[in-house]
Chains A and B, each alone.
Chain A
Amino acid sequence: MWDTIIIKPFINMLLWIYMMVGNFGVAIILFTTLTRVILYPLTAKQIKGAQAMQELQKNKRYLDIQEKYKGDKEKLAQEQMKLYQELKINPLSSCLPTLLQFPIIIGLYQALIQSIASAPLDLLKLTRHIYPGFINIPDLIPLNTQFLWMELGQPERLYIPGISFGIPILTIVVVITTFISSKVIAPPPQPGANDQGAMMTKMMNIYMPILMGWLSYTLSAGLALYFVVSNVIQILQYAITGKIYWGNVFPWLKKTEINKP
């Protein structure tokens, strides 16, 4: 089921792009862009949902409810739900699209690993996952997994003459782009806003870049390349919708952004 719905289409699309462009790194970039464009409706929904929740926290009725029922969690939940329904806000609309992307990321990673096929079982699976007649195995294999200085099937390191160890350039780029992308999409905390929410955002801004960096450091360069492209596209998508807060990363831009309508 998982193979049929996710892995097979992903592998065939990724490899078809590779056959067209002849470079696996470029194929990953194009494939990531394509999946991000396809997932854009979910992303847009997520942005809209987050915005609605953000505005709700400034709503007088919402603040009154918080104050009035702070000792009665059950009643508080009931009243909040009523308010959500009245204002037509789905509290999960900012969270669900993110969760829905997880199977895509896992599927993409499995597709990448199987496409690179650096071990027998992966190659065996790959030959079985290619749609007959769609891609010609002799033309495809061996796959050229070299991209710039990277071997996309291996964790990335740049070896510079005179330095005895490899520098994980892509990992550093992943950490930076993850940090920037998570910072610029989070609205600046509003006066009177929930402290717990701000704390969670702060934690995620630290936790996510470290996590993504660790994955990039230990897993294949192909996946790290996906993370970088994905982060850049996410920033662009938020920029397109106008819900981007550059001031969170570049403080000298803050003033103009807060004044934005």
Chain B
Amino acid sequence: MKNKILTIFVAISVLVLALTSCTGVASTATSWGGATVTDSAVYFADGMQVVALRLDNGANIWSYPEKADATRNFLAAPVLAGEQLIVADTGNLLTSINSRDGVTQNWQFAGATGKYIDTPLVVGETIIAPNADNSLYALDLKGVKLWEFAADNSFWAQPASDGKLVFAPNFDHYLYAVNLETGVLRWKTDLKASLVARPTLVDGVIYVGNIDGNFYALDSERGTILWETKVAGGVWAAPNFVEGQLYFGDPTGIINILNADDGSVVDAIKVESGIIGSGVIVTDGIVFGKENGDIITIGFDGSNLGTKTVGGSIYSNLSINGNLFVVVATKGENPLVAFDTDVKQSWVYTTSKK
């Protein structure tokens, strides 16, 4: 009888463990972290904390919060606004901390009711924060809300801006253009499926794709579709624009190269593993992170210039500044690896460096 009791309790415990391990409360398994390289440091949203790392060797400068808080998951790459570091979390908070010490909190905005999935956009003196509560929040650099724009569904991706309008992709299939100063809607365009990718804005043209693999170029003034192209997989990240061509990967393991003038497919390179985040432009081409934990360099002509193993799974956008770029490896032994623009490994951040 005792054995039977034990069996039932063990089974129930396994059930509880299996269920709670899927909630995201105990882990960051429902999303991936992000990092930003600046002139002074690398800021890495590592799930439970944001860490500042030295540019030269990846040593930890500070961690925020000092002790991890289970109610707040930091997944969006932090963004620098002067000396303020803006960090967004899944506990619905947007916080400004001093980028030098990571301790001094300048302000905290608690007006959102949903998660912050992606990094806020800083345009001059304005912070634009997309939130899963269906709103786009505009704050000044003191954390005071300037306006709020509500749509029918979640804003996940970081918007783009030309300094006058903000172009915000939404889950409800629309790309919204709102006035940067007032938050008033200028136009909205139905792009047929949910938008989770950041847009890229070049010379008055917005380039953005949806999760069903439709890729668009739109006129930023009126929101009219200039051209449309279908690619193999959903589009999860902003394309890299280089000399009239757009480079972006998709989850089916293809790097798409499109002609930015008309959307014609220049090349579709099979790379055997999904590509979710944006690449970075380096000396000889563009580096992309692959889901299987490798990074691949593609020449501007579409040639494969080589692969290196980072480990874990790479979902995040790669981040570059000057001659250093970083790769976030989700569930990897080394959660962050830095390379120079010749794609030579500079340093590795391990959790032991904390």
Please determine whether B251 and A128 come into contact, CB atoms closer than 8 angstroms.
yes
Cβ < 8 Å to B, chain A residues 202-219: 203-204, 207-208, 211, 215, 218-219
Cβ < 8 Å to B, chain A residues 67-124: 95, 98-99, 102, 105-106, 109-110, 113, 118-124
B residues in contact with A207, CB < 8 Å? 12
Q: With A119-B30, A119-B117, A120-B117 in contact, is A218–B1 under 8 Å at CB?
A: no
Chain B interface main SS type = loop
B291 to chain A, nearest CB (A): 9
Instruction: Identify the closest chain B residue to A94 (Cβ).
Output: B4
B239 at the interface (CB under 8 A from A): no
Instruction: Identify the closest chain A residue to B2 (Cβ).
Output: A196
Please determine whether A137 and B32 come into contact, CB atoms closer than 8 angstroms.
no
- Across the interface, B211 reaches (CB within 8 A) one of A98, A110, A137, namely A137
Q: Mark B1-19, 1 if CB is under 8 A from A, else 0.
A: 1101101100110111011
> How far apart are the CA atoms of A106 and B210 in the complex, in Å?
31
Please determine whether A109 and B22 come into contact, CB atoms closer than 8 angstroms.
yes
- Across the interface, B5 reaches (CB within 8 A) one of A142, A194, A200, namely A200
Please determine whether B29 and A102 come into contact, CB atoms closer than 8 angstroms.
no
B216 at the interface (CB under 8 A from A): no
B110 at the interface (CB under 8 A from A): no
- Across the interface, A141 reaches (CB within 8 A) one of B15, B25, B211, B315, namely B211
B residues in contact with A223, CB < 8 Å? 19
A12 at the interface (CB under 8 A from B): no
Q: With A106-B18, A127-B251 in contact, is A121–B153 under 8 Å at CB?
A: no
Instruction: Identify the closest chain B residue to A102 (Cβ).
Output: B15
Instruction: Identify the closest chain A residue to B134 (Cβ).
Output: A142
A138 at the interface (CB under 8 A from B): yes
B residues in contact with A196, CB < 8 Å? 1-2
Q: Mark B90-115, 1 if CB is under 8 A from A, else 0.
A: 10000000000000000000000001
Segment of B55-63, B191-199, B254-262, B279-287 in the binding face: B191-199
> How far apart are the CA atoms of A24 and B169 in the complex, in Å?
24
B residues in contact with A251, CB < 8 Å? none
A39 to chain B, nearest CB (A): 16
A197 at the interface (CB under 8 A from B): yes
Please determine whether B19 and A215 come into contact, CB atoms closer than 8 angstroms.
yes
B38 at the interface (CB under 8 A from A): no
Q: Mark B165-176, 1 if CB is under 8 A from A, else 0.
A: 000000111000
Please determine whether B32 and A120 come into contact, CB atoms closer than 8 angstroms.
yes
Please determine whether B19 and A109 come into contact, CB atoms closer than 8 angstroms.
yes
Cβ < 8 Å to A, chain B residues 150-192: 153-154, 156, 171-173, 192
> How far apart are the CA atoms of A73 and B20 in the complex, in Å?
39
Please determine whether A219 and B194 come into contact, CB atoms closer than 8 angstroms.
no
B273 to chain A, nearest CB (A): 13
Please determine whether A137 and B7 come into contact, CB atoms closer than 8 angstroms.
no
Please determine whether A99 and B4 come into contact, CB atoms closer than 8 angstroms.
no
Q: A123-B196, A215-B16, A220-B23 are in contact. List 13 more A-B contacts (CB 8 A).
A: A109-B18, A119-B24, A120-B117, A121-B31, A123-B211, A138-B192, A138-B193, A141-B194, A142-B154, A194-B1, A215-B19, A215-B20, A218-B25
Interface positions of A (Cβ within 8 A of B)? 95, 98-99, 102, 105-106, 109-110, 113, 118-124, 127-128, 137-138, 141-142, 194, 196-197, 200, 203-204, 207-208, 211, 215, 218-220, 223
Ranked nearest first, the 10 interchain pairs of A and B with the lowest CB-CB distance are A119-B30, A138-B193, A142-B171, A196-B1, A119-B31, A106-B18, A142-B153, A141-B194, A120-B31, A137-B212
